Each structure stands twice: as C-alpha cells, then as structure tokens.
Chains A and B, each alone.
Chain A
Amino acid sequence: MSGVFVGMPAFPEAVRSAVRDERLRRNLRHATHTIRDKRARAVAELADWAELREAGKRIKDRTLRHLDAHLLRLEEAVTASGGTVHWAADSDEANRIVADLVKATGETEVVKVKSMATQEIGLNEHLEAEGIRAYETDLAELIVQLGEDRPSHILVPAIHRNRGEIRDIFRDTMGRWGRPAPEGLSDSPAELAEAARLHLREKFLRAKVGVSGANFMVAETGTLVVVESEGNGRMCLTLPETLISVVGVEKVVPEWRDLEVFLQTLPRSSTAERMNPYTSMWTGTTDADGPKTFHLVLLDNGRTDALADEVGRQALRCIRCSACLNVCPVYERAGGHAYGSVYPGPIGAILTPQLRGTASEVDASLPYASSLCGACYEVCPVAIDIPEVLVHLREKVAGQGGKGHRLEKAAMKAAGWVLDHPGVLAAGERLASKTRGLHPRKLPGPGARQWTDHRDLPGLPTEPFRDWWKKNRPADPPGDRA
C-alpha cells in the first residue's frame, strides 16, 4: 500500500533531508532538466503556442463560470449513451461509491489507470480496507506501489527513483504481488519496462473491473478522454467488463471542438511529445466493444471551495501536465514529498491549500514554498498565474495569524511605519553606517541566523545614498516633499 500524507511537518522542515540527499538531488536534477529542454523544443515547433495557451485558458475560465450547466449537460449525454453518473461531495463519499460498485460486481480486485483524483481521495487504501485489491498499472505508479512509497510528481510519481533503485524494487517485491521479475534483471529502462509488461499482463487479462480518472470530459457529447503512453490505460479502459471513472468536476470542457486546443498543448507540455502514444475516447458504452457497464463518479472534494475564490479559482484550469514542476527550482531541490500531498510543486502549492484549507502546518506553509521566480507561470499551458495565487494565499495565511505570523505581522507593521517616515529611516540608516565597524558578518537569532548560516552580510556603507545625494547635489529638487 502506498503511504499517505498525514501529519506532515511544514515544508521548510520537510525539505531538510531532501536537500541533503545527494542521490535524490541528482535524480531530480537529471530528470527535470531532461524534460525541461525537450518541452521547450516541442513547444517551439508550434508558431501559435501563445494563441493556443490563451484559448486553453479562456475555454477553462468560461467552463468554470457555468460549471453547473456543463455538468448537467455532461450527465445527460453520458446517461443517454448508457453510462451511470454519480456525484461525490467529498473523498469519503467517492470512496464509498466506488467500493459499493466494485462489491456489486462480486470482484475483489481492480486494475487502475494512473489517476490523480483517485490518489487524492486515497481510493486504494479505502478499497484495501474493504477487502478489494487495487493494482496500479502505470509504470511509475507500480514502482511507487511496489516500493510502498509515496508519489512525488504528477506525471512521473517515481521521479525520485533512478533506474538502479527501480531494478532493486522490481527484483525484491514483484514476486509478492504476482509474477516475479525476470532472472538477472538489469537496470536498463527497456528491460525494466519489459519486466512491468510481463508482471502486469496476467492482471490485465483476468481483470473484470477497471478504475480510471480522465483528462477531459466533453459535455456536448458525453465523451471521456484519457491521455497516456504505455497502453496500460487502454488495457484498463477496454478489457474489463465494468469501468469506473472518478473525475474532478473541473475536468469538463463544453464542446468536442475544445479538445483541439488541449490535445495540442497537453502532450507537448507534459511528456514533450507532439502527441502521446495513446489517447482513448469513449462515450458511455458500445455494443461488443469494451466494458458493458460504465460508471462516472463526479468529484467535488474541495473544488467548489477553490471555485469560490476569485483569484484562486484559476488553479482549476490545471490540466495536470506537470510542466510547472519540471521547471521549478524549488521542486528540483525539495522533491515532491515535502509538499505533503499528491499534488507537489508549484501547482500543488496553490491547489492543495485550496482543496484542503490551510489549517494544518504543511498546508499553511505551502504558499511560501516558492521564490516567486515565475518560471511556472511562463510554461503553464493554461496560463495559471501561480505567483499571483501564491501571494494571494499568503495573504490568507497571514490573515489567519497562527505560528510565526503574529510576530511577522508586527515586524511588517513596524518596518512599514519606518518606511513611511523617511526621517526615521534616514536616522536608522545613519546609525547603522556609523556603527558599521561593529557589525559582524554572522548574526544570531531567528531570521538573521537563517541568512548568515550560508551567506556573509555585506559590509555596510559609510553613508546611505540619501546622504550622499544631499552632500553632492545640494539643491533639493521640487519633487521633494519629505
């Protein structure tokens, strides 16, 4: 069973071990830099990238503005084509619905396509408690599941593992879950992929129930879309008799035509491909092709809270490409686990506190887990202004007071008062300059110590700029009203 994120420490504490873990840092640097450069090349191929990005953003905004109508239209279309639609207000309800649907089939195992929504609600753990075993079939999810690990990336949940570690996990654990890894398995990615193929094939062939998420749902036609690479998605969506898809309400798009934007922007942003190897689209059920029974579980689980926030709601545009993770300098050094959620990186830092609130220590620390460098906004294919939302969420966290923030607020107020009184400011600057010989390059105390643990303080100048100006440009300009 993959670990869950409970009782996580705040981000700054959680990263400490990651930052010092040389192997993890190497794995992350290698993987994120590989994909970063490829993405840039894939995006540069399209002369109209900016227009596609703008269209994607606007389609999502327009959808969210009338989300109720689009969901109702989707429900009608799915129902008309033989599917059944369920609505789940939170994770408990979604888990209960899925478990009941599986039990009704009489089966005790399901095969799963990688899905952020089912990870978010902890479906596997819930099914396990109900006596149902869920097999993850995406290669990276399999690595996480076999390694009893937690996901650390949206697209590649096992990004923190290198090929050698993956080989060891396969060799040591595959036998416990089914077909063991081949003898003498090497760490070549091709051999590792082959081992996963052999291990999972028997599970695909006997599976009666598949569980998936979806990348898009088209309200106009009732069509669901799953974008993938390995073919495990096609296996889960096609071979079982029953298919259950758990999808966040924000994944709906109004029209069939809207896919022409996202099918161009998602693969290039995500795996840096012109198109991912496989995309499956299905509408309800089809006679003699694929599952006979199809259930769609529409999931809220905090999304309507995010929707109510006029700045924060743009996070619901997210199409889970993970480009923002791959360019984020903080993610690259912190790794995904420190974010304490299945949504790590910049998007996680704005999504998680909106879905779960900011009551816990880790959730309240997430809006600060960024230097606001803006690389995430630059690559986002639906133009989510992540820095803007981060600052907005900081305001909320600071407003609720709590650990450290009361003191910080007092300091901000005091600094603000000084800065609003240039005379006082100048006096302070002069005092600092006069006593500069006494200033050490390292300082004790919170804040100051964090700074001087790693860096020298600059030597203070003999006089502040405003004094130099007064001496050297004596005639005060007319704009001066200090």
Chain B
Amino acid sequence: MSQNSRERILARIRSAVADAPETPDVPRTYLARHTPDDPDAVLDLLHENLADYRAHVHRTDEAGLPALIARRLEERGARRVVVPDGLPAEWLAGTAAEPVPDDRLTPAALDAVDAVVTGCALAVAETGTLVLDGGPGQGRRALSLVPDLHVCVVREEQVVASVPEALPRLDPRRPLTWISGPSATSDIELDRVEGVHGPRTLEVVLVRGARFAAG
C-alpha cells in the first residue's frame, strides 16, 4: 500500500509542476551577521540576550569555574547532580552535591536528580542560544531536559554571532538541541511565562578564554 502511495504521490508531484517555470537561484543577500566583529561585544550580546529570556548569566575564568558552579548548585539547593560522560572532572571539584554518573538512567531516575551540569557545542549571541550536540560533557538529550536546573558552561571561543555562522559549525548527524532560556509558554493569552516542562532554571556560565590568559 505504502509503496503504491509513494509512486502515486511522486507521479502527482511531477504532473503538478510539469508546466511550472524553472526557479532561479536563491538570492542570499541577507546578512551573515548583524553584529560587529568584536569578541567582547559579541560576548556581551550573548549575555544580554540570554538574560532577556530569563536565563541567569555569570562570568568567570578557568580558575574560578569550579567555585562558581559549586555556588550556583548550592544556592539552588541542588543535592544530586547528574554528570554527563566526558565532563571535565575539575568542574565539579568544588561542589558538595552528590555526583550521579549517567549509567543509562531511566527517565524516572533522572526525574529524581536536582540538576545537570553540561558544556555545549556552541552559543549564538544574536539569539541568546546554546546548542548542545551530545558531545563530551554534554550527555544525551534527556540529561539536559528532565532535571529542573540546568547549569551550562560556555567558553568564549564557542560563541558565534549569528544563526548563519552557527549552522556550518554543527554536525547534522548528531542530535542537536538549541536552548534559548528556560522553558516557556505563550499559550495563555499570548503572554510569555517561563517554566513549563523543560528545566525551569537555566544558569549559564560564560568562561573567558585563552585571549585573556595569553594577554
């Protein structure tokens, strides 16, 4: 049946467009980015846009990272923290929370942890977006979804300005999750409210990069 429909649909498409004129190339005259090429300005913009959609944004350097993560977890009352494979051990070195390794935790088991700490594949400044691709330190998709607190670490060199700059840097064969602030809804009177099914709290830690260390 389905095989039959496949041929039928394809035949219908071919006959529908048989007389249609050829379409010219797509004009890509839109901008590759809307932000000047200045790393400080781009980082500030990411900070601003994340905060605008109610993420809590913090800044530190490599040395200050463990203490900052520990503080964030403590202030949010997180006692059990799920740890994605490949997360740098020193990131959680300062925390008193119990690390829970991801041994194929069931959704219900994940629901019983308080928080997750991850890295990311990149971040997009103009839209205030973090992109996770399941690489080392990011874990499978469920990890950054079920726990109610997500602490995400972004290194300065991972920040791009725009969506057109982000896509070529991502591998579509990997499962990708684009996160712009905590979960939200506009379903009641088209007014935005934060906090529905995904983590209700998103803490983002921006880590200053080698640029400063070297300078």
Contacts and interface: CB of A to CB of B under 8 A. Distances in A.
**A in complex with B:** yes
A451 interface: no
Contacts of A158: 187
Contact of A230 (B2, B5, B26, B184): B184
A271 B127 CA distance: 14
Interface stretch (A14-22, A253-261, A335-343, A396-404): A253-261
Given A143-B187, A201-B111, A283-B173, A54 B195 contact: no
Given A229-B184, A249-B9, A55 B29 contact: yes
A94 B213 CA distance: 58
Contact of B111 (A66, A205, A310): A205
Interface stretch (B14-22, B56-64, B67-75, B89-97): B14-22
Interface string B141-165: 1100110000000000000000110
Interface string A210-232: 00000000100101000001111
A394 interface: no
Contacts of A189: 185, 188-189, 191, 193
A256 B198 contact: no
Interface in A168-203: 189-190, 192-194, 196-197, 200-201
Contacts of B76: none
Contacts of A204: 107, 197
A31 B186 CA distance: 10
Nearest to A50: B30
B215 interface: no
Interface stretch (A127-135, A272-280, A366-374): A272-280
B82 to A, nearest CB: 14
Interface stretch (B36-44, B174-182, B203-211): B174-182
Contacts of A166: 188
Given A87-B9, A229-B185, A277 B179 contact: yes
Interface residues of A, number: 101
Contacts of B183: 229-231, 277-278
Interface in B2-36: 2-3, 5-6, 8-10, 12-17, 19-20, 22-24, 26-31, 34
Interface string A310-344: 10010000000000001000000000000000000
A48 B32 CA distance: 10
B80 interface: no
Nearest to B188: A189
A6 interface: no
Contacts of B114: none
Interface stretch (A286-294, A409-417, A440-448): A286-294
Contacts of B15: 308
A218 B184 CA distance: 26
Interface stretch (A57-65, A356-364, A418-426, A470-478): A57-65
Classify the secondary structure of A's interface with B. helix
Contact of B13 (A30, A193, A194, A307): A307
Contacts of B29: 48, 51, 54-55
A59 B24 CA distance: 10
A288 B134 CA distance: 10
A68 B190 contact: no
A256 B128 contact: no
Nearest to B15: A308
B30 A51 contact: yes
A180 to B, nearest CB: 18
B174 A304 contact: no
A407 interface: no
Interface string A230-252: 11101101110000000001000
Contact of B127 (A275, A280, A290, A305): A275
B190 A35 contact: yes
B214 interface: no
Nearest to B8: A89
Contacts of A71: 9-10, 13
Contacts of A304: 9, 12-13, 16
A300 interface: yes
A163 interface: yes
Given A205-B111, A275-B129, A304-B13, 19 more contacts: A34-B190, A51-B31, A55-B28, A61-B23, A163-B188, A166-B188, A190-B195, A204-B107, A229-B196, A234-B197, A238-B145, A239-B142, A239-B146, A260-B164, A274-B180, A289-B175, A290-B142, A308-B12, A313-B16
5 contacts: A32-B190, A275-B178, A278-B178, A282-B175, A283-B172
Interface of B: 1-3, 5-6, 8-10, 12-17, 19-20, 22-24, 26-31, 34, 49, 53, 104, 107-108, 111, 124, 126-129, 134, 140-142, 145-146, 163-164, 167-168, 172-193, 195-199
